[in-house]
Amino acid sequence: MSALDLPQPELNAPEPIAPDLVAEDLACRRGARVVFVGVSFRLPAGGALLLTGGNGSGKSSLLRLAAGLLAPAAGRLSWGERLVAADLAQHHARLHYVGHQDAVKPTMTPRETLTFWAALRGRRGAMAQAIENALAAFALDPVADWPCRWLSAGQRRRLALARLLVAPAALWLLDEPTSALDADGQERLERVIAAHRTNGGRVLLATHLPLAIDHAQTLVLDGFAPASDPALTLSALTL
Amino acid sequence: MTALYGIFRHDLGLALRQGGDTGLVLAFFVLAVVLFPFGVGPEAEILARIAAGILWVAALLAALLSLDRLYQPDYEDGGLELIALAPLPLELAVLAKSAAHWVATGLPLVLLSPLLALFVDLDPHAIPTLVASLLLGTPFLSLVGSIAAALTLGARRQGVLLSLLVLPLYVPPLVFGAGAVEASALGAAARPDLLILGALTLAALPLAPWASAAALRQALE
């Protein structure tokens, strides 16, 4: 399937100029541990930012920060001029988040799963077609009516990713999206991401594996952890 | 609205397809009620005297049994994050999930209760009141139970902790629910108790989703 067959996201209709996702000096703290400090980036429309770094360097935490699931310990995250925290509901409406877990119920079929997620995003009108397209984009149509407990780990992953296509969103946050995917699945993901960016979408993606994503910025999260005394940094943050 | 109905249908579909929740709750309800005649003896007068309490306590414990299934599966498979990230307010999502929980577990209890009333020799005139009181009271059990289920997410021994948290909160509906049935069995007016029971549920309707959603946000941090 070509990139043109993908559902065309109606992005940013109320916002005339597509704003950037801007992070300035973000810091993240989990419990007593400071995961990173001083992380800044700018993600424009059509842009892609790859997060790399070792285990525990804070890739997932940064994605959760960007999703608004976590509040930054310091720094600001804004969408254009507006602070993300100021209107979380609106921020949630413009993003898709695919975490480590696939959120797939064993007794539901892939088609039902996607229907549910589309409904959750408030889609009803052109839903059936969007779901067919999403299933096809990840080659799930042969198994669309099987209960998900029959699916392999890779197929579940494909289903979690197909969710990206059932409702348009300006910002995709993907946490290790290629885990359990085979070469074909990875290729399909790359194609879907390319089409999303062509339509002005933004992608923030944490990955260990090299992915073919054109003109992507890379942010290496190693080295953002406070090097010296963590307690010192902690007190600096709480000030 | 689409999202709200979507969650309700999804959760109800899951509960009916797995079937375990509803079956377990009903089986527990039946067994708990049937145990009493063995314990206190088969004298009809004694049973009839305590029937209202037996039925309400058993229904309450049965409702408690399924509460940990309210959020735990979604929490474990990552679905809860996605619900929290959906454009609809988390409070409404909680309301939809509680409603589905009630239809899957509370409503079957209500429907089964007239049959069990015969087991414990409840005055037949009090059966309509029993059904009415459970109909008014079981939504309270699902709504307030959702707060405790959200608070105990991710905790070890969640089930035990959940019972400790939620049982004290179940005292008011128990008092007025059993009170209504007993009043009716004695030929007195059950209306005041039923009205208070309804008021409790109405108060829980906006407050519980709000508290639950706050606890869920905490759990997802």
Tokens of B46: 């004694």
Q: Is residue B167 less than 8 Å (CB to CB) from chain A? A: no
CB contact under 8 A, A120 and B89: no
- pLDDT 10s digits, B15-47: 888 877 888 899 999 999 999 888 888 888 888
Task: Quote the minimal CA–CA distance from A108 to chain B in Å.
Answer: 8
Q: Give the pLDDT score at A4.
A: 44
CB contact under 8 A, A108 and B13: yes
- pLDDT 10s digits, A17-71: 678 899 988 898 888 888 888 888 999 999 999 998 888 888 899 999 999 888 8
- A153: pLDDT strictly greater than 50: yes
Q: Is residue B73 less than 8 Å (CB to CB) from chain A? A: yes
d(CA A139, CA A161): 11
Confidence of residue A227 (pLDDT cuts 50, 70, 90): low
ipTM: 0.82
Is residue B138 within a helix (H) or strand (E), and if so which, with residue range?
helix B127-151
Confidence of residue A125 (pLDDT cuts 50, 70, 90): low
CB B176 within 8 A of CB B193: yes
**Residues of B in Cβ contact (< 8 Å) with A101:** 76-78, 81
Is residue A24 within a helix (H) or strand (E), and if so which, with residue range?
strand A21-30
What are the start-end ranges of the E strands in A80-166? Answer: 82-83, 95-98
Task: Quote the minimal CA–CA distance from B25 to chain A in Å.
Answer: 20
- A14: pLDDT strictly greater than 70: no
Count each helix (H run) and each strand (E run) in chain A, helices first: 7, 9
Beta-carbon contacts of A72 under 8 Å, excluding residues fewer than 6 positions away, are: A26, A27, A28, A65
Q: How far is CA B186 from CA A122, B50, B175, in A?
A: 52, 12, 16
Q: Is residue B161 less than 8 Å (CB to CB) from chain A? A: no
d(CA B151, CA B162): 8
Is residue A28 within a helix (H) or strand (E), and if so which, with residue range?
strand A21-30
Handedness of CA A45, A52, B216, B9 (dihedral sign): positive
**Residues of A in Cβ contact (< 8 Å) with B2:** 119, 122-124
CB contact under 8 A, A97 and B7: no
